[in-house]
Amino acid sequence: MAEQLVLGTMYFGGRTDAATSHALIDRFVEAGGRMLDTANCYAFWAGGSGLSEAALGEWLRAKPGADVELASKVGVNPAGDGIEGLGVAVVRRELAASLERLGRERLDVYWAHGEDRSTPDEEVVATFGSLVQEGLVGRIGLSNHPTWRVERFRQLASQQGLPAFDLLQLTTSYVEPRPGAAVEGKDHPYGFANLETADYLATHPDVQLWAYSPLIQGAFDREDRPLPSAYDHPGTTARLAALGAVASEVGAKPGQVVLAWLLARGVRPIIGASSVAQLDEAIEAASLTLTGDQRRRLDEPA
């Protein structure tokens, strides 16, 4: 099931040097993975915008004919005193720049990276829908948007006879922070999948969730990286106990069981590995099979 994993490339070409970045892509593709996820803004806070796309472009030019899919994003690159937003001129300009860096004529997935309430919803829907109609992108998705706006965009697309957003990208994992608790490093107010998200997905089977930061920066397996304090509550205690028990039964690390659990629920985890060893653990996790009883115990820990 490695093909259901997504390789996150946020720090490629910057914090993750070119040689390591290319080795990670090589290993991912060798294992059967295909989807590479980047953004026009990666990583402006760690070296500069566009570095990730440029690193992917270098790899693609060195591997002509490589059977990979590409996803990129637009909307949150710094601009003036704010962010670039989702206006039609910005989206088309940034898509052209992303394609230039990647050396491609088309993206498989294009994401609205964050909300832009200063641009009319009708314009956002028309802009992204037209990119699909023109063949510049294959599918369109919404990242870090509240569920009610996801539905509004989809209704507007239906009314306008345009392709609709059918992918969501949010952060989710096996444990959840306390409601209302601030999570360090998470600055998107609607970036977390929640009960409403799950209900929406259950009633809209044509919409798929991609999960970023599914392993919470290695907190399930590394003692030097404890869960953020926002996760400190009784529900987490029960879930970690169930997770540990299942991990012992299947002979895997807790983080690997988290990935297997997400995959079994139809979620595509985005893997942010910085070494081939880390990536190999995720690839192994994609092959784990959880029994019905194990999934039940993970879903409803005592």
**Domains present along the chain, CATH in parentheses:** 2-299 (3.20.20.100)
Q: For residue 226, what are the contacts with CB-CB under 8 A and spacing of at least 6? A: 219
pLDDT in tens, the chain (302 residues): 789 999 999 999 999 999 999 999 999 999 999 999 999 999 999 999 999 999 999 999 999 989 999 999 999 999 999 999 999 999 999 999 999 999 999 999 999 999 999 999 999 999 999 999 999 999 999 999 999 999 999 999 999 999 999 999 999 999 999 988 888 877 788 999 999 999 999 999 999 999 999 999 999 999 999 999 999 999 999 999 999 999 999 999 999 999 999 999 999 999 999 999 999 999 999 999 999 999 999 999 97
Q: Is the pTM of this model over 0.75?
A: yes
Which residues are bridge partners to 69 per DSSP? 35
- What are 195's two structure tokens? 């009960």
Q: Which residues of 206-219 are buried (b: 16+ CB within 10 A; e: fewer)?
A: ebbbbbbbbbbeeb
Please state the φ and ψ torsions of residue 54, each to the nearest 5 degrees: -65, -40
